[in-house]
Structure 1
C-alpha cells in the first residue's frame, strides 16, 4: 500500500512526487510514455525576456531531483481504471494492480483536431505530433508544410519547427463547419491570437494585442487584415484564408485554399492550390479527465479553463477523500503553472498524512502563492479569463463540500 500513487510523469506529477518524497512518503509515479516529462519533452521557445525555455532540460532537472530522492517511477504503464476502496484507491494497469491511500491524477491534456477533408492521408498530423517528432525524436516531418488552425499552441509549435529548420508555407484557418466554427471565425481567432501578440515582431499583431478587448477593434482588425497575411517570425499568418481540402493520392501533395470574409465565409472564385508535402492540424487542447471521472469525482464545465474540469480547490484537493488533481487536467495553462500546481499538490498530500506540522501549513500557502505568481507572469495564456475560471471553481468546490456535509 503506497502513501500516494501519481498518474502522470509530466511537470505536475514529477513536481508533486518530489515534494512527497522530501517528506519521506512512499510514492509511486506511473506514466504510459516510455520517457518521463510529458508534454515538457517537446517544448522549446524563447521567453519575452530573451531566455529560452527548454522542456528537455526542465525534464532532466525534475527527473534527476526525483531520482536523488529515490522516487519510484514506472514508465510504459497504462492505467485503465481507478477503483475507490475502503482504505484508499486501487489503480488498475496493464502491469497489474497497485493500491494507495491517496491518488494524484496529473494526466495533462490532449489535442482536439479540426476535421478537414483529406486528413487521413499520410503526411497529415496534429501540431503536437509534429512538435514531438521535431523536438524529441529529431525527425524532419517533411520538406514544406502548412499549419491549419491558428491558436496559441500552433503558433508556439510552428516557431519551434522553424527553429529546427522546417519550412512552413503559412498558418491558415480551417474551412467553417459545425465542428470548426470557432476555429474558422476570423474575429474569434484574432481574439485568441492577441494573447501571444507580445511575442510577434509585427507591429500590427502587437497593436491587436493591446486593443483586442474592444469588440470594434477586433472587427476592424479582421476586416482590414492584409490579404497576404501578417508575418510572425517571417511566417505569414492568414486570418482571411481557409483550407477546404487536403489533396493527394498516397500522401499529401497540396491543399485547396480559399479567401474568406471577416465572418469566415468562403469567397467564390478565389480557389487556389498550394503545394506542400505535410499538413499540421491544430484544434487546441482539452483536459484529459477520464480517470477522474471513473474515480467518481464531480465535474464542472468551465469555458475559461478549457472544458469539463474535475471539481477541486486551490490546494488541489477534490471532494473525494484522498483524491487530488494537478496540471492541465485542472485547466489548460503553461507547463510552468502545471509544475507549480504539482508542488502544491505534493505538499497538500504530505500535510494530509502528517497533520499538524506548522512548517507544512506555511509551505502549502507559499506554494499556492507561487502558482498565482507564475500564472500572472505567464508569457502565453491559452484561454481568456483564467483567474475568473479559477475563482468560480473555488466556489463550486465549496458548494460541493456543503452539499456533502448536508447529506
Structure 2
C-alpha cells in the first residue's frame, strides 16, 4: 500500500494523520523536530471558560492517538526537496527518499524578527524561542526581560512568561525603520492590540478598547496614550516608546529606549536605559511555505493571512494533483483552526483515493473550521475572513483561466 506522506507533525499534520488512519489508509508523518506538536508545544493559556489550554498535553494526546492508529511518525527528519515524476511525489530527506501519490504540507509558520543595533548579543532571541525554552524545556531565558514588538504573539507569550515567574519589564515598540515597518508605527500597533484586549485582566483596558471604533478615536488614543504604558498582566505595554539599541558587554545588559511621537518618530533627548538580562524580538509569524514553492504551487501575498500563501481551495487542495496544505502554511491562525483544517485535508485526500466517498465529511468539516475560527480566543490577524475571501477569488480566477485554456 502506498503511504500518504504528511510533512509536519504539528496540530494540522497530526489531525490529518488521525483522520486518514481512522479510515484505513497508511500514513507517514515527517518532522524535523525531536518532538511532535509543532507550535502547540509552547502554548499555555487560560480560556474564557476557565479551562487551561496546555499545548504539551494537547500534543501528547494527538501523538498517542496517531501512534495507536498505526501512523508512522519519523521525527528528527528534515525534508529538503520534493518533486513530482510520473504522477508520483519523490520526497528527499536527510534520512532517505520516500515515494507517494499524495502529500500534505503542514509545515506551519516561522517568526520574522527585525534587526536592532545590538541584536547579535547573547541573550537576544525571538519571542517564540523564549516560549519554547520556558514551556517545553523548563529553562528560564532570564530573570528580567524586555519584549520588542507589540502584537498578538508577544502579548500571549508575555503572559506565559509571567506565569512561569519571569519578570517581563515591558513590551515596547522597535524604532520605526524600513525593516520594522508597521511594527514601529503606534497607530498600526494599536489596531492589532485592540484584538487581544479581551485577554487583559484589567476591566479598564477592556472597556477602553471598545471605545476605539474609528480612526479618529484611535488617533486620539495614541496621542493621549501614557508614555510609561498601560499595564496588562502587570506588564507595561508601551506604544509611545521604542527600543533604539540593545546594549551589553559580551551579553545583554539592557536596552536604550526613547519616547516617540504618535507617528513613530523618535523624540531627541528622551533616551534612557532599562536594564535586562534577555531581550525578545518579534515581528509576528509568516507561513512557512518553501516546499510548496519547490513543488511549483502558485502563490499570492495576502496581508490578512500573514504573507505569501500557496493557492488552495476550501478542501485544502492546491492546484497540483496530489498536493494538499493545512495549518499555518495557509494563513496564520490558532492551533484549533489548524487542527480543523487538518481534518478537512485528511478527508480530501481520502476522497481522492476512495472515489468521492467522503464528500459529506468534507462539507461538514469545512463548516467546523468556520465555527472554530469564529470562536477562537486568540486571532493573529483580525481580518482573516477578508483574507480567505481574497484567496477564494484568486482560486476562482485561476480555475477559470485553466478552463479557458482547455477549451482553446
Q: TM-score range by the shorter chain?
A: over 0.9
**SS of 2:102's equivalent?**
strand
1:241 matched residue in structure 2: 241
Runs of 4+ in 1 over 4 A off after TM superposition: none
2:375 matched residue in structure 1: 377
1:184 matched residue in structure 2: 184
Q: CA deviation at 1:3?
A: 3.8
Q: CA deviation at 1:98?
A: 0.3
Q: CA deviation at 1:333?
A: 0.3
Listed as ranges, the gaps of 5+ residues in structure 2 are none
1:367 matched residue in structure 2: 365
1:386 matched residue in structure 2: 384
**In 2: Cα distance, 1:397 partner to 1:24 partner:** 31
1:4-403 equivalences under 5 Å are 4-357=4-357, 360-403=358-401
- State the TM-score, normalized to the length of structure 1: 0.97
**In 1: Cα distance, 2:191 partner to 2:349 partner:** 38
**In 1: Cα distance, 2:392 partner to 2:77 partner:** 33
| Contact 1:102–1:322 (Cα < 8 Å) also in 2 | yes
Listed as ranges, the gaps of 5+ residues in structure 1 are none
After superposition, give the CA deviation of every residue in 1:66-85 in whole Å (9 maximum; x if it has no partner). 01101000000000111011
Q: 1:356 to 1:246 in 2, by over 3 A?
A: closer
**In 2: Cα distance, 1:271 partner to 1:285 partner:** 30
**SS of 1:227's equivalent?**
coil
| Contact 1:304–1:383 (Cα < 8 Å) also in 2 | yes
Q: CA deviation at 1:50?
A: 1.8
Two-structure CA RMSD over aligned residues (Å) = 1.1
After superposition, give the CA deviation of every residue in 1:161-181 in whole Å (9 maximum; x if it has no partner). 100011111111001111113
**In 2: Cα distance, 1:174 partner to 1:356 partner:** 52
**In 1: Cα distance, 2:390 partner to 2:178 partner:** 29
**SS of 1:39's equivalent?**
helix
Q: CA deviation at 1:326?
A: 0.2
| Contact 1:9–1:37 (Cα < 8 Å) also in 2 | yes
- State the TM-score, normalized to the length of structure 2: 0.97
Q: CA deviation at 1:286?
A: 0.3
**In 1: Cα distance, 2:14 partner to 2:110 partner:** 19
